[in-house]
Structure 1
Amino acid sequence: MHWSTLHLLAVTGLAAASAIHDPCKALESKIPGRVSYPGTTTYDASLSSYYSGQERALSPGCIFRPTNTSEVSQFVKLVTSADYKTNFAVRGGGHTLWTGAANIASGITVDMRLINQVDLSEDRKIARIGGGAVWDLAYEQLVPYNLTVMGGRIPGIGVGGFASGGGITFHARERGFSCDNVYGYEVVLGSGEVIYVDEGSHPDLWVALKGGSNNFGIITRFDVATIAQGNMWYSLLSYNYTNATLRAHAKAFSDFMKPKNFDSAAMMGVFLVYTGGEFLLSDSMWYTKDVEKPAVYDAFTKIPNLGGVAELDTTANVVKLFGQNIPSSEQRAFQLTFSFHNPDPNVYMELFKIWEKGVSKIAKVDSIFVEFLVQPHPVTNGTNMFGLTPGRTDDVMIDMTAGYANKADDALVQRVINDIVNKQRALLKSNGYLIDFIYLNYADISQKVLQSWGGDNIAKLRAASKKYDPNGVFQKQVPGGYKIPA
């Protein structure tokens, strides 16, 4: 036999062995029609649907699109086996901004969006929603029943990441976080075993999943409380950005957040925005009862304004309307968050001015868009991992987000946004208003999210991980997300 023939056989043999141990090929063989590769239409469509350019830039070896829980279970068993062990990511809506949050380079990304069913229980008190569904589509299916659920406020927000990381909703001041309203979960564990988790069957994991994100398994179904909902009030008003309107907002919002003025149906956001070389100011006001022009917002609507939206409509239509004001995607994006007790108006004014001064340092960044959102905290019932005071009505949350065009500006934008937030936090801390809690769904990976929830809750997360994921699949093979501190 000639050397060339021997060499050809050896090369062929290596190629065959490589194919045999390729997890993507093995997965395709096991579950045909669910795996896509770079350069294909399905693969490219999945990547292009991520919100941020950071996530779109990652190229997994393949993308797996399961259609049911059994396929997810088969996937987990395969990628944790000795022959095919590989890292993976799990995505739903794909709205988290930072690199690797729900995508991966070279491994396998599980795109859950085909597991998107919405079913009602016989008494219509529970909606069973697939782990890959998006909230706005769920709303549309519930409107004919005059029902809604605790979901996202803009189109395209995935059920999985939103509910497992907390979830801020229109009903946040009446019913807390979205995760506070989940009755049960269907979960594929790191072993590939499928279990149903509720308060009675697995109380430790049930609580850990309420904020614990992707640390314990792949959630393929959420059983959530439905809420009777016909029309709700939605108003979006714009204002001239002046010191006078800022001072009026500082007083109006500080008063709105005082416990004596609490109205559980009233949720809102004050939006300070820098874009296109100018500062903008607007209020979004949502009232979950079928009440036109609720009096609780009078202090805001009486401020001289430029007009806008004001109407009663369904949850589904409100989400569509509000979503028109939010960029549908970003080339580059960075986001930070923090929380505090409601201060007096002078402190709000100082927060506004710190933001205004800081933004001037990145005013020349290509396509810069900076949003400073001030909104009430959900009034939690304590059924989660966050360590917040149940029933407290006067806590406030900041969401600071920057969008821009070029990767070359990453360092500058991140430095400036961090500087703004650090100065705002220092101001609040020096006056006794700052609280430790960091909200996972608005945070950057640089923020110590789980640590902010307190040592006792970290211990609960760690114990649940060791019990339900003893091999650490979701700590070691899923690099994205906020891992449980050792």
Structure 2
Amino acid sequence: MIFSPRTGVVAAVLLSLSSLASSAPATISASSDTCTTIAATTTIEVAKRFELPYTLEQSHYWSSSTVAIKPACIIFPKSAAEVSAIIKVLGQNNETFAIKSGGHSPNNFFASVSGGPLISTSKMNQVLLDPTTGIVNIGPGNRLDEVAKKLDGTGWTFSGGRVGNVGVGGLVLNGGLSYLSAQYGWAASSVLEYEIVLADGTITTASASKNPDLFKALKGGGNNFGVVTAYITQAYKQGDVWGGNAVFLRSKKNDAKMLKAVRDFTEYCEDDKAAVIVTAERAVIGAVDSWILFLFYDGPDPKDAFKNFTDIGAVLNTARKRSFADMMAWSNWVVLPGVNVLGGTETIPLPSADNAETVLGDIHQHWRDITTANLGVGGFVASIAYQPVPKRIVQRASERSPDLIDMDDSVDRLIMEVNYMFLLPSDYEKMQGVMKETYSGIREKVVGWQEDGTLPDAYVPILMSYGNSQQDYFARLKPESRALAKSVAQRVDPQGLFRDRTGGWKP
């Protein structure tokens, strides 16, 4: 479909808040029932438990733990006006609620709610492109592979994430790391305007010229400010790409080679079109213990961009020329159905070449020691992803618009994303403890290395997309960023609708 700013269609941005919530809010007895009121007084679709739309939507989460959290009903608005009507009803009661985009956050109560209404944005799935300017109106109900498919053949692409099944709302409100980040910054950096429903039901927009503080707060601030119903985003020219996965056997020698390769790629790669995610994977099933790389090049031929990795010797390499839409769809193999998922993260300054073996080797061994101790957990699958954040990503982000993450370009960085998957709900609390042991152990090492000069004493926020509910996202931001988020939340939500009645990290 084609969108033109001249038609007056409002800016599109989804503040799919609940993809970002943190801990569950306290359960409050409702003075009125949003599900019943919306069903009785509006034409908005409402699905109750055991009805097919409810069952299908409730199954679309990445983690079985969130599937098991049952809302009283699921409400499917199709527009900002319908979201406004729902928010106004919520304002008249005290029910807890949640808002869902793609449901990819594994944190319980980030996009899920027990006994209250769940607002699904899945019906707000427009992708409206102006083919002349490349400005695209994207609804929060889209997943990244859907956006890529709808833009396929237009010559334009959205600077989204790396896994197609990820929801637009959770990704962009978290900031969003993309295969295209070295060229265009965070996914949120390309948003020109948000359409948002505030806590009193007001529909407004936020941009660099209108509500600029809210505009900045939405770029990395999560679900604290309202419900984003559309993102007006700058798309970019796009042809064929090259990408896929390369699999390497695990050995101590290959561990050292792979960690050196990702360190050197982060500092020395000068080709902004090249991107990589370097993951180590372990599982009892199939005796998996290997390295799996995600390789991406924004063009049909990467030449020697990944030579420091490919020279190690892959046993399987699926990378080839493909469309961007095909690349997004290909990545969905990482989403395993029917398992519980936990995620956590840390950010470190890139170690020097002299200190890389000590720093990255110790971190990797810490992860291996913990995973070895837990291989007996039923259905256990563990991964750690080393994700380069070179200075130029921060430079490109700051060129486009300010954000709450507000990284400086004084150092290169690595983001570690840790994921644990397991089968039994009874192992959930134990595995939360294992996850905390993993990321807190990395953090303790990094702080020690910064104190003794092994690592630079640099600002290292965690990325909201990968954070565990036990981590304090806002405490890791700069004080001025946290203060801005808090002041904006108080201004647009003075009664604390989103602060007190949805889960999530709160400033």
TM-score, L = length of structure 1: 0.91
Partner of 2:24: none
Partner of 1:286: 296
What is the correspondence of 1:331-410 to structure 2 with a 5 Å cutoff?
331-343=339-351, 344=353, 345-346=356-357, 347-377=359-389, 379-380=393-394, 381-382=397-398, 383-389=402-408, 391=409, 394-410=412-428
Question: SS of the residue aligned with 2:153?
Answer: helix
Question: Which residue identity lines up with residue 423 of structure 2 in the other structure?
Answer: A
Cα–Cα, structure 1 residues 125 and 293, in superposed 2: closer, same or farther, change >3 Å?
Answer: closer
How big is the shift at 1:294?
2.9
Once residues 430 and 85 of structure 2 are traced to their aligned partners in structure 1, the CA distance between those partners, rounded to angstroms, is 44
Matching of residue 124 in structure 1 with residue 133 in structure 2: yes
Question: Which residue identity lines up with residue 414 of structure 1 in the other structure?
Answer: Q
How big is the shift at 1:65?
0.5
Q: Contact (CA 8 Å) 1:287, 1:294: kept in 2 or not? A: no
How big is the shift at 1:146?
1.2
Matching of residue 60 in structure 1 with residue 68 in structure 2: no
Question: Which residue identity lines up with residue 97 of structure 1 in the other structure?
Answer: P
How big is the shift at 1:95?
0.6
Cα–Cα, structure 1 residues 370 and 20, in superposed 2: closer, same or farther, change >3 Å?
Answer: closer
1:364-423 residue CA offsets vs partner (Å, 9 max, x unmatched): 11000001100112712232101311x457211000000000122223322233223233
Once residues 421 and 76 of structure 1 are traced to their aligned partners in structure 2, the CA distance between those partners, rounded to angstroms, is 36
Matching of residue 416 in structure 1 with residue 434 in structure 2: yes
Once residues 338 and 349 of structure 2 are traced to their aligned partners in structure 1, the CA distance between those partners, rounded to angstroms, is 31
Once residues 243 and 427 of structure 2 are traced to their aligned partners in structure 1, the CA distance between those partners, rounded to angstroms, is 36
Partner of 1:15: none
Once residues 295 and 162 of structure 1 are traced to their aligned partners in structure 2, the CA distance between those partners, rounded to angstroms, is 30
Specify every segment of 5 or more residues in structure 2 that has no aligned partner in the other structure, as ranges: 1-28
Partner of 1:476: 500
Question: SS of the residue aligned with 2:442?
Answer: helix
How big is the shift at 1:33?
5.2
How big is the shift at 1:342?
1.2
Percent identity, aligned pairs only?
23
Partner of 1:137: 146
Partner of 1:455: 479
1:221-258 residue CA offsets vs partner (Å, 9 max, x unmatched): 00111011101111421111011111111221221111
Question: Which residue identity lines up with residue 248 of structure 2 in the other structure?
Answer: Y
Once residues 271 and 21 of structure 1 are traced to their aligned partners in structure 2, the CA distance between those partners, rounded to angstroms, is 48
Q: Contact (CA 8 Å) 2:131, 2:154: kept in 1 or not? A: no
Alignment partner of 1:216 out of 225, 232, 250: 225
Q: Contact (CA 8 Å) 1:78, 1:85: kept in 2 or not? A: no
Partner of 1:299: 308
How big is the shift at 1:472?
1.8
1:285-324 residue CA offsets vs partner (Å, 9 max, x unmatched): 1111x24133121111111220221211111101122222
Q: Contact (CA 8 Å) 1:113, 1:133: kept in 2 or not? A: yes
What is the aligned residue count? 460
Once residues 170 and 375 of structure 2 are traced to their aligned partners in structure 1, the CA distance between those partners, rounded to angstroms, is 32
Once residues 263 and 30 of structure 2 are traced to their aligned partners in structure 1, the CA distance between those partners, rounded to angstroms, is 63
Question: SS of the residue aligned with 1:215?
Answer: coil
Specify every segment of 5 or more residues in structure 1 that has no aligned partner in the other structure, as ranges: 1-17
Cα–Cα, structure 1 residues 330 and 370, in superposed 2: closer, same or farther, change >3 Å?
Answer: farther
Question: SS of the residue aligned with 1:263?
Answer: coil
Q: Contact (CA 8 Å) 1:135, 1:158: kept in 2 or not? A: yes
Q: Work out which of the two has the higher radius of gyration on C-alpha atoms and give 1 or 2.
A: 1
Partner of 1:9: none
Q: Contact (CA 8 Å) 1:330, 1:403: kept in 2 or not? A: no
Question: Which residue identity lines up with residue 274 of structure 2 in the other structure?
Answer: A
Once residues 205 and 122 of structure 1 are traced to their aligned partners in structure 2, the CA distance between those partners, rounded to angstroms, is 28
TM-score, L = length of structure 2: 0.87
Question: Which residue identity lines up with residue 445 of structure 2 in the other structure?
Answer: L
Question: Which residue identity lines up with residue 388 of structure 1 in the other structure?
Answer: M
Partner of 1:40: 51
Partner of 1:271: 279
Alignment partner of 1:446 out of 465, 470, 475: 470
Q: Contact (CA 8 Å) 2:38, 2:44: kept in 1 or not? A: no
1:333-386 residue CA offsets vs partner (Å, 9 max, x unmatched): 211101111113302222222211211110111000001100112712232101
Structure with more contact order per residue of length (Cα contacts < 8 Å, sep ≥ 6): 2
Partner of 2:194: 185
